[in-house]
Amino acid sequence: MRWLLGLAVLLALAWPAGAAEQELELSINGHTALATLRTPTSMAPETPLVVMTHGTLAHKDMEVIQGVAKALQQRGIASLAHTLSLGLDRRKGMYDCATRHDYVVDDAVAEIGAWVTREKGMSRFVFTFGHSRGGNQVARYLATSETPPVAGAVLLAPTTAGAEAGLRASYVQTYGKPLEPLLEKATKAIAAGRGGEWMDVPGFIYCRNAVVTARAFSSFYAADAAQDTAALVARVKLPVLVFAATKDAVVPDVIASFTPLAVSSGGRVQLERIEDADHFFRDLFTEDVADRIADFIKQTR
């Protein structure tokens, strides 16, 4: 009888009986990362669970992530929204631009993988979700393996090769100095084995007058084939749902980027247009997104 009691306790911990939110910590590559686990009223091994990755310099509690997670919870779908560490311990809120920057885009791959592995013990049907640059990072994670350990993926307004090219082209207008000499300096430092060398730059992503390592600067500004999210998705065999907002001013070419793939994939890649939504899918658009994700999960299972 004692072993039965122990089993009951383990099951209660693994599968919460009521709708709930739980704050979690996980050590990944020497840093402590944070996440929020949201479970619906009825949670079982068959309950789908979505591991959610935010966009550039953002966090798990931003409006678009929380909104979609809570809407999924109402639809009987669990979620784990995590905050990318970006080289810091227990990072909360938006990345402070006054903090030095030492992280690269691909750091997210290991963090997504670690959270997926953790949640595989709770649900048999784990999906990945990424918003904006998080969508590209989810695609990078999927492309690292021929058989990713997830059932499918959802990309919400994912960054595109075109958007990344636009970021490079607009650097001089945004920060008043050309990008090329700074990128050349970073590239030479990396080639000389000094990727951790600090650089004072007029701007880095959203931050003015930033202090950044050469490897970080190069990771975000050097042209890279992996910045083409559609090309990454074309390489994986999983079902993928892509959302495009028709009034998205941040990544305006999601439809153009993914339409050829959606047409040629035989239904594996689905492209959903959300009319009149912007990059953050606020208010009723959140409900629309959650409805379509729930339908996608039903089809995939």
Task: Give the separation between CA 36 and CA 40, rounded to whole angstroms.
Answer: 13
Final residue in a domain of this structure, among 227, 247, 276:
227
Q: What is the pLDDT along the chain (301 residues), one digit of tens a residue?
A: 333 333 333 334 444 446 799 999 999 999 999 999 999 998 999 999 999 999 999 999 999 999 999 999 999 999 999 999 999 999 999 999 999 999 999 999 999 999 999 999 899 999 999 999 999 999 999 999 888 899 999 999 999 999 999 999 999 999 999 999 999 999 999 999 999 999 999 999 999 999 999 999 999 999 999 999 999 999 999 999 999 999 999 999 999 999 999 999 999 999 999 999 999 999 999 999 999 999 999 999 7
- Judge whether 101 lies within some domain: no
CB contact set of 47 (below 8 Å; sequence gap of 6+): 15, 39, 40, 76, 77, 78, 123, 125
Final residue in a domain of this structure, among 181, 210, 227:
227
Q: Which amino acid is at 156?
A: L
- For 271-299, write each residue's pLDDT tens digit: 999 999 999 999 999 999 999 999 999 99
Residue the block writes with tokens 């247009």: 273
pTM attached to this predicted model: 0.92
Domain count, the chain: 2
String of DSSP letters for 207-224: EEEEEEEHHHHHHHHS--
Q: Which domain holds residue 245?
A: 16-94+106-160+228-300
Final residue in a domain of this structure, among 211, 227, 243:
227
Residues 134 and 147 in one domain: yes
Cα-Cα-Cα-Cα torsion 248, 249, 251, 257, nearest 10 degrees, comes to 70
Task: Give the separation between CA 19 and CA 232, rounded to whole angstroms.
Answer: 35
The predicted structure's pLDDT at residue 18: 64
Residues 200 and 274 in one domain: no
Residues 60 and 137 in one domain: yes
- Judge whether 11 lies within some domain: no
E-assigned strands of 88-197?
Answer: 126-131, 152-156
Q: Report helix, strand or coil for 19.
A: coil
Residues 42 and 125 in one domain: yes
Residues 83 and 206 in one domain: no
Residues 57 and 136 in one domain: yes
Residues 147 and 266 in one domain: yes
Print burial letters for 155-164: b (CB count within 10 Å at least 16), e (below 16): bbbbbbbbbb
Residues 127 and 76 in one domain: yes
Q: What is the distance of C-alpha 152 from the center of its chain?
A: 14
